[in-house]
């Protein structure tokens, strides 16, 4: 005997089955995190510290470096890497794994550095920072 509640349950089961089938075929892209953390390599050299930060696709004007006696903070923003209108409008996203949006990286310094002698150079998607030890 088909009761009204039985019919509703069968309809709900069929509908949810269709929805879960369609969801299994769709890949959702999570929104960018509020901030992301770039990868670094940090070296203690004979004259000071040398830090390399991976910042591919980040314009130099979008990077801020703040050096103190006991830490360095690198922050900025990377635009979402996607095709421009001139390159052809994207009609489907197959993968979207490169972090974008605001970033920040704080590094505790193991020894006092000379802030006034700090230097930075950006090339090939890497930001190199030289922090000579204080005398």
Q: How far apart are CA 124 and CA 56, in angstroms?
A: 7
| CATH 2.60.40.790 holds for 32-132 | yes
> What is the per-residue pLDDT for 90?
84
Domain-wise residue ranges, the chain: 32-132
> What is the per-residue pLDDT for 33?
58
- CA 125, 129, 135 angle in degrees (round to 5)? 170
> What is the per-residue pLDDT for 29?
58
Residue given tokens 């930060």 in the structure block: 53
Residue given tokens 């050096």 in the structure block: 67
What digits encode the pLDDT tens for the residues 33-92?
A: 589 999 999 999 999 999 999 999 999 999 999 998 789 999 999 999 889 888 988 888
What digits encode the pLDDT tens for the residues 87-130?
A: 988 888 888 899 999 999 999 999 999 999 999 999 999 999 99
User: 30 versus 56: which is more confidently predicted?
Assistant: 56
User: 2 versus 72: which is more confidently predicted?
Assistant: 72
Contact, 77 vs 102, CB < 8 A?
yes
> What is the per-residue pLDDT for 18?
57
């Amino acid at each position: 005997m088909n009761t009204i509640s039985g019919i509703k349950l069968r309809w709900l089961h069929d509908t949810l089955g269709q929805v879960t089938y369609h969801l299994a075929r769709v890949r959702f892209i999570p929104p960018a995190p509020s901030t992301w953390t770039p990868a670094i390599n940090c070296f203690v050299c004979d004259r000071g510290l040398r830090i390399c930060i991976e910042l591919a696709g980040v314009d130099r004007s979008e990077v801020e470096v703040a050096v103190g006696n006991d830490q360095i903070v690198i922050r900025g923003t990377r635009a979402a890497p996607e095709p421009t209108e001139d390159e052809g409008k994207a009609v489907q996203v197959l993968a979207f794994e490169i972090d974008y949006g605001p970033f920040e990286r704080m590094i505790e310094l193991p020894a006092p550095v000379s802030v006034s002698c700090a230097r930075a150079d950006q090339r090939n998607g890497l930001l190199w920072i030289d922090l000579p030890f204080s005398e």
